[in-house]
Structure 1
């Protein structure tokens, strides 16, 4: 929206659900490692068809029903690091105690009160991401709070749950999942709806992320943390937008959802002023398009049908924008796609897509559309096409009355698309295979509270002399543990300083990556070996980039074994002195003219000869000494 938005006036309510994978050695209910594999390494696969089950009260969750409108085949890739529990062919073992310890430490950071008994539940999920058809989850603690610049944000609940399988490929009728991710433990943290603006949402997510990383026990990288954003405005509806992976996207997600709801309310007002309505009949218009040049319709005519519905009073409104690049017609299309179709046509955008003006006129006449009426059309297999039109009629009726509560998928541009209705209570029921866990006061009090990253950065600046920028950079880096190991090992070393370590593992490595070097092959052990030979004086710190570049090409070789090959073995000081004396003799006139200022220009020549072999400070001191001797003779 171009105008400045007053989110308080609009009645914005916003809350976050943050899902963070935990970095435990084993998965949640088995001994398998929490390692992500390349799908080429899969040594076994199987498939399933999933159906929703009724709750103990005999009710079936509407979100689960929506997910099974299309009969899909789910294919699972297994590995030598997955087991029968991931395959759902063996009951789960007891809850991994390391997972509980990590989750409780997070609860402490958020000032939460844990339950006395942890009971595992089953949450129905039939989109194929769980082989069992449900996800195991447990309520752990509640009543927390987080301080922000806009006041306190309540932390409603923290749950521990198992991660779902990773979707590899969606072919429409079948979906391929990888089982390496299934069962990795995660925490779900839900805030109260205390967030008052898009920027406040980002700040809150950033602070929770900082607390999580402070434990040193959460996974890092793309896909390891996901934010779901719950948003509503006055007269609007609660919408859950799932799968927001980038922190920087949260502000835009909130802004765009508010924009969508404001625009949908305006469209509703305009439609009602027109006395718009929904005509329930689904028209078979296949014969009207027998000779069409539209490629989409021609493909469907071979095996399917073309159906249309009439929306009296909707003309000009189906094409109205609700988010940048997305229109009311896109909302209709999203609903239609739940039946498996690729999309829809509507008369606000026709003639187009190979459909001629004459065909549009014939279509409008056939369904009895007036100039203020819109016609929606779909072409696909008969069952899919009819299901799509039924979904469009439902969404069109909603457009006249209210904004529907629903679960939406966050898109990379900050918009969102319909996924399914909001789930209800009937999707949860007790897990009978996992015993309850007692959480005594003594056990909870024994869990240590981690040092916050913000405090750790201040400590690093004070103890190691790091400037604020480098201290912040390393505490938020994935290499924090490596830094702490290295600084502990070389704390008394005059050459291997904290600044050198941070600049190497954050700056030099990034530069090498930009140059196309495969830095993923450089391990923590390589850094330890490299700094060891620098500390011992075998090689100068100026050789760091050269060593790392070579290590990436020869990762199986010890760093010390590479030194001679790289020409980095130590140089006798007599050779250095001889080189500098010769240089001074050749540049006498220059030195006489510049005096002590000649050191800088000549240092480049000395470094060119001995870079990486001798520490730069040593070379500089020798050069200054020889120039001063010449000037004083």
Structure 2
């Protein structure tokens, strides 16, 4: 359904986090990720503490309620005492600082005169210190996107978090290799009321980042967070969108979710629903002879507990997003704060082998009447109580509409509760690192060396190298753009051939399992020079490149494949011979015989002659034969 997002008061802002291609931010450790199992590990617990202003962040408090500890996996060659929080941070990585300033200037932002390192409270375990270090580097940037001005209030340099490597009811596992990798964080204003404009803006910022040639590439190296709200709703911070194609669906589905939550609020108001009391009832006896396998599995070590949600009948089962109901939101709270596997509720019962009689008995035990819902949890007593108290808290928030939350983006475009939206108390000054003066002379030097932006590069490729529009577009955004220009300047060869080789041929070979990474500038230059000198045909290029990856030099590959270029006389003789043998085909098809004849000739020459030359000679000889 097409929605009028302007009428709905949609406001969207982006936060783009891009890893920089340099060593870690506060030490000299390399910023490389390891896939093999780490040989070392440490266990930690984190607790919320007061900030410098004497306040405790609400998100930190909410995280502490979970009562989990954290296990950190360590590769000694990419993790040091700084990441383990056993040593103070070293001075800020100057290269990362300068890359961030370069990005700020490309985004028309104003670098600060003095940069201060701040601590941002994080207690989900992804930072061993319990906080993330972040540095405001520039403000008041802007970008033009499809004729619209997009504001960029802040550009920060910060450290990436540890990688999550698994979780159970009591412990969260993290890999420490990613912790400390420099990130640039670019925050836009809430300037979008159209999901597609958010996508276009993220794409343009990503291209500007890649234009520097100083950012990491690949899945996980760039992540988009979205801040989104609608009229009557509340701001949500949706984290961890790694694919641009997900931005629009996430926005569309979040709008749908908030609208449905507002409908639930309005229905509760009409029903006269009131704040739900924190009253958890044990109903284990009701299920003493249950046929539900899920509940039977829990009974030896736990019990069954329930709460009444007054006035919620028919609403817990209401779909908020495709495949996710309000009951799923309640279950998310129960899982996060109670560590339980899930919940049952009477909007979906009887079912799951829970009988009608058992449902009636639970309703009676909790005091639930017609129009109410009972929520059931089967687990250890303390876990079940925590889970149901969280369910009550989330249900009470539904009376007000849409709570402010930090949510996780799912791969289908839906989102899932992570924690409450953090408050201002989470940010305070880092005391271990002095302020950083931004040198004006350094800024001028960076400004003079700013890279060409993709749009400018594309225009130049069209005019200077005569590439087609689509090829010029792809090459201008490609990480191989500089390699393309170097090869064109070094080799007397058609720029289109160089571009298609880098953009298409190498990609195709890689898709076939060929290890093209070894085809560097020197090797490619030698191959293009062989073509330029007429020693091989450009049609032989894929076979020669593949042979080189198997260990041959360019000249050896040509000899081993038997691809020394045919002389014109030899080619003329071959084509005359084929025409002689295919007289019947020529008589039958006339000029239309050129297509099958081209196939026959090209199969015979096997890359030893240029296709354009073959066509030229064949066309001339065929015309003569038909006269």
TM-score under structure 2 normalisation? 0.92
1:511-590 → structure 2 map (5 Å cutoff): 511-514=508-511, 516-519=512-515, 521=517, 523-525=519-521, 527-551=524-548, 554=550, 556-571=551-566, 575-588=570-583
Matched residue SS, 2:142: strand
Task: Specify the alignment match of 2:347 in structure 1.
Answer: 348
Q: Distance in 1 between matches of 2:94 and 2:429?
A: 20
Task: Specify the alignment match of 2:291 in structure 1.
Answer: 293
CA contact (8 A) 1:72 1:172 kept: no
Task: Specify the alignment match of 2:185 in structure 1.
Answer: 188
Matched residue SS, 1:506: helix
Cα offset for 1:541? Answer: 1.5
CA contact (8 A) 2:41 2:71 kept: no
CA contact (8 A) 2:68 2:172 kept: no
Task: Specify the alignment match of 2:610 in structure 1.
Answer: 615
Matched residue SS, 1:450: coil
1:155-174 → structure 2 map (5 Å cutoff): 155-174=152-171
Distance 1:150 1:604, change over 3 A: closer
Distance 1:481 1:45, change over 3 A: farther
1:391 and 2:373 aligned = no
Task: State which drifts further: 297-306 or 621-630.
Answer: 621-630
Cα offset for 1:188? Answer: 0.8
Once the two structures are superposed, what CA deviation does each residue of 1:262-288 show, in whole Å capped at 9, x if it has no partner?
A: 111111111111112313211111222
Distance 1:411 1:440, change over 3 A: same
Task: Specify the alignment match of 2:13 in structure 1.
Answer: 15
Q: Distance in 2 between matches of 1:271 and 1:171?
A: 36
Q: Distance in 2 between matches of 1:65 and 1:532?
A: 66
Task: Specify the alignment match of 1:107 in structure 2.
Answer: 104
CA contact (8 A) 1:13 1:196 kept: yes
Q: Distance in 1 between matches of 2:585 and 2:9?
A: 75
Distance 1:600 1:8, change over 3 A: closer
Cα offset for 1:11? Answer: 2.2
Distance 1:135 1:523, change over 3 A: farther
Distance 1:291 1:537, change over 3 A: farther
Task: Specify the alignment match of 1:95 in structure 2.
Answer: 92
Q: Distance in 2 between matches of 1:559 and 1:381?
A: 69
Q: Distance in 1 between matches of 2:534 and 2:520?
A: 21
Q: Which runs of 5+ in 1 are unaligned?
A: none
Once the two structures are superposed, what CA deviation does each residue of 1:183-210 show, in whole Å capped at 9, x if it has no partner?
A: 2211111112222222222222222223
TM-score under structure 1 normalisation? 0.91
Cα offset for 1:616? Answer: 2.7
The one of 326, 329, 332 aligned to 2:330: 332
Q: Distance in 1 between matches of 2:587 and 2:373?
A: 90
Cα offset for 1:489? Answer: 2.2
1:64 and 2:65 aligned = no
Task: State which drifts further: 73-82 or 292-301.
Answer: 73-82
Q: Distance in 2 between matches of 1:558 and 1:374?
A: 75
Q: Distance in 2 between matches of 1:592 and 1:313?
A: 88
1:1-400 → structure 2 map (5 Å cutoff): 2=1, 4-24=2-22, 26-40=23-37, 42-68=38-64, 69-149=66-146, 151-277=148-274, 278-339=276-337, 340-400=339-399
Distance 1:539 1:275, change over 3 A: same
Matched residue SS, 1:565: helix
Q: Distance in 2 between matches of 1:78 and 1:200?
A: 41
Q: Which runs of 5+ in 2 are unaligned?
A: none
Q: Distance in 2 between matches of 1:581 and 1:79?
A: 69
Distance 1:527 1:283, change over 3 A: farther
CA contact (8 A) 1:15 1:191 kept: yes
1:451 and 2:452 aligned = yes
Task: Specify the alignment match of 2:601 in structure 1.
Answer: 606
Q: Distance in 1 between matches of 2:42 and 2:486?
A: 43
CA contact (8 A) 2:284 2:304 kept: yes
Distance 1:188 1:381, change over 3 A: same
Distance 1:481 1:30, change over 3 A: farther
CA contact (8 A) 2:213 2:479 kept: no
Matched residue SS, 1:306: strand
